[in-house]
Amino acid sequence: MIKKEYQANILAAKPLDEVFAFTSDPNNLPLWSGASAVEMVSEMADQVGSVYKVTFSSFFKKYSILIEITEYNSPNSWEFKTEEKPASVSKYTFEEVEGETKITLNLTEDQESESLISDISIKRKLDNLLINLKKYLEK
């Protein structure tokens, strides 16, 4: 198994606290991430350890993954992991930059082998994910 790391970032014209609050709430994922539904499985008082079932639907298939929040540092970062293949860790960090909020998404994913095509596809998905988030935040 190979651990691959990817990164994408974008600036959103919204305050840091507002961006963190919206982005770190898994119930908001259907509004911007492509998820069709989110269901709380277990919730912890400080968020860390909370588990959510996130469902994705398309014309051809429907599948769900469990995400577990592994870090929650308001308003600077939050992180979740998945165990479903490919196992991954997604970390969002937030930084104020000249009145806007810089959002950085770091993805670490377990992969079977090296693939430039897969790398390009994953990077494009991350970029599009943050573009969708920015569009929603700036409505």
pLDDT tens, 129-138? 999 999 999 9
The strand pair at 88-97 and 100-111 is best described as antiparallel
What are the structural domains of the chain? 2-137 (3.30.530.20)
> 109 pairs with which residues across the strands?
4, 88
pLDDT tens, 28-61? 999 999 999 999 999 998 899 999 999 999 888 8
CB 52 within 8 A of CB 60: no
What per-residue confidence (pLDDT) applies to 46?
87
Report d(CA 80, CA 65) in Å as an integer: 12
pLDDT tens, 81-122? 998 887 899 999 999 999 999 999 999 998 887 887 888 999
Residue 11, pLDDT above cutoff 90: yes
User: Helices 16-23 and 116-137 sit at what angle, rounded to 10 degrees?
Assistant: 120
